[in-house]
């Protein structure tokens, strides 16, 4: 009987095993703890965007300065993920993960009680540092906890925290902040993280880091066949996404849908969550196909939003397709990166973190320039200009990067 299976992911812990690796079942309790870590990371990053008026009034600075709390968070992840990961290659994985999670308790608690904007801004930078550590560990950690043929599905479970945070967590935090104050919202984040600490201590296993003498340099990992291809596709795809996602409100305003932003984001989040489920079910056999389909679907959504912008029904359809195209890509790109990097998976993941945050910042800059110069009508076509080379590179990365599944 012929089966199709992706090659198993080597890891720094190949000599160490966990109970999950000897069965055909996923260690869901531990993977869901990682998913909660992803949820808290995303929510911590995005909450100030939904609480701009309240934080601006309380800290007595402009809303644009409060917006920089998100920027500093992204910069913290972007500039520290690679050097921290390289420095901690030999550390045991669980103490490193727990350090990052405890860090979130500290930074969110300080944010909740701070009356100083400079202190809050500094705290947000360190929140980004801890986030970079979490994201650099996430995919490799999930893969090591799972049987070889279910590693992609394990990563998909941990990534489910992202669309849940986007579709449910952020609107809930925004509502809570408007009702009882933004400080309590951050305090609740700290309380949730304390629960996560207990959960992770009980259910997440430990793994060794790389042995001394086997450390791999950043340059060596970057030059590995396939790693650069995955990084390019990640950068271009996420840049395209953030141009539109960052400026979705002004994009909808000219067609009279400015009051529908909440509904649009909900549709996007629910569709992204469905995409995570599909990706988790198919990734271990069809990673390459799913990557190509995601790019094509995003391009279709861009065309729909560009041609039928003034037709509300098509806008909803376009956003739903966009959400479905985007929802699985964190899992797809991180899995592809880990498979290409092998033992250096954590170092490669730190590069994904850096590129991802660069794309977030780039989306804000490029989208802002387009908004101020040629208007929001240019957004869909800018997306297509980025997605065309993305599709070409992903298509050509047949041997390394996004290889087809092997027939055994």
User: Where do the structural domains in the chain lie, given as residue ranges?
Assistant: 19-215, 216-408
Lowest mean pLDDT among 74-88, 99-113, 321-335: 74-88
Residue 134: other Cβ atoms inside 10 A: 23
349-364 pLDDT, tens digit each: 778 878 887 887 788 7
- Range 19-215 classified under CATH 2.40.50.100: no
Q: Which residue blocks in 51-150 are alpha helix, DSSP H?
A: 52-59, 63-87, 93-113, 117-145
Answer yes or no: same fold for 19-215 and 216-408.
yes
Report the predicted TM-score, pTM, of the whole model to 2 decimal places: 0.74
pLDDT of residue 334: 81
Q: Are 141 and 153 in contact (CB under 8 A)?
A: no
Looking at domain 216-408, its CATH superfamily turns out to be: MFS general substrate transporter like domains (1.20.1250.20)
Give the tokens for residue 135: 């994201």
253 three-state secondary structure: helix
**C-alpha closest to that of 322 among 336, 304, 309, 334:** 304
pLDDT, tens digit (0-9, with 9 covering 90-100), for 102-152: 999 999 999 999 999 999 999 999 999 999 888 878 877 887 888 877 777
Percent of the chain with pLDDT over 90: 26
Residue 408's pLDDT is 37
C-alpha 317/C-alpha 304 separation (Å) is 8
Look over the chain and give the mean of its residue pLDDT values, rounded to a whole number: 81
Residue 260 in this model has a pLDDT that exceeds 70? yes
Please state which of the ranges 192-196, 362-366, 390-394 shows the lowest mean pLDDT. Answer: 362-366
End-to-end CA distance of the chain: 9
pLDDT at 215 over 80: no
User: Where on the phi/psi map is residue 44: left (φ > 0), alpha (ψ -120 to 50), or beta?
Assistant: alpha
SS3 state at 406: strand
């Amino acid at each position: 009987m012929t089966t199709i299976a992706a090659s198993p992911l080597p890891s720094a812990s190949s000599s160490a095993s966990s109970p999950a690796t000897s069965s055909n079942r996923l260690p869901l309790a531990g993977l869901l703890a990682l998913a909660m870590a992803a949820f808290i990371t995303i929510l911590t990053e995005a909450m100030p965007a939904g609480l701009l008026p309240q934080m601006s009034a309380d800290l007595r600075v402009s809303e644009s300065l409060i917006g920089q709390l998100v920027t500093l968070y992204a910069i913290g992840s972007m500039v520290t993920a690679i050097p921290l990961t390289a420095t901690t290659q030999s550390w045991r994985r669980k103490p490193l993960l727990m350090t990052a999670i405890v860090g979130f308790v500290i930074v969110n608690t300080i944010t909740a009680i701070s009356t100083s904007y400079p202190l809050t801004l500094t705290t947000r930078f360190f929140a980004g540092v801890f986030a970079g550590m979490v994201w650099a560990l996430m995919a490799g950690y999930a893969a090591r906890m799972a049987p070889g043929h279910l590693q992609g599905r394990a990563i998909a479970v941990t990534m489910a925290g992202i669309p849940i945070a986007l579709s449910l967590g952020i609107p809930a935090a925004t509502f809570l902040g408007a009702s009882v104050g933004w400080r309590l919202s951050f305090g609740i984040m700290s309380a949730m993280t304390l629960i996560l600490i207990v959960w992770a201590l009980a259910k997440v296993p430990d793994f060794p880091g790389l042995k001394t003498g086997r450390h791999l340099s950043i340059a060596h990992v970057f030059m590995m066949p396939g790693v650069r291809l995955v990084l390019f596709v990640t950068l271009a795809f996420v840049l395209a996404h953030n141009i539109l996602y960052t400026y979705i409100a002004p994009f909808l305003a000219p067609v009279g849908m400015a009051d529908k932003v909440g509904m649009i984001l909900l549709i996007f989040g629910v569709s992204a969550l469905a995409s995570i489920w599909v990706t988790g079910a198919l990734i271990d056999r069809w990673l390459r196909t799913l990557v190509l389909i995601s790019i094509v679907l995003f391009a279709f959504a861009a065309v729909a939003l560009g041609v039928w912008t003034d037709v509300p029904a098509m806008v909803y359809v376009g956003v739903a397709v966009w959400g479905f195209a985007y929802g699985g890509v964190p899992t797809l790109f991180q899995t592809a990166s880990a498979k290409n990097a092998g033992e250096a998976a954590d170092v490669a993941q730190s590069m994904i973190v850096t590129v991802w945050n660069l794309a977030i910042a780039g989306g804000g800059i490029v989208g802002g320039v387009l908004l101020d110069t040629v208007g929001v009508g240019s957004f869909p076509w800018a997306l297509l200009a980025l997605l065309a080379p993305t599709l070409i590179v992903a298509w050509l990365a047949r041997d390394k990067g996004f290889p087809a599944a092997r027939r055994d």
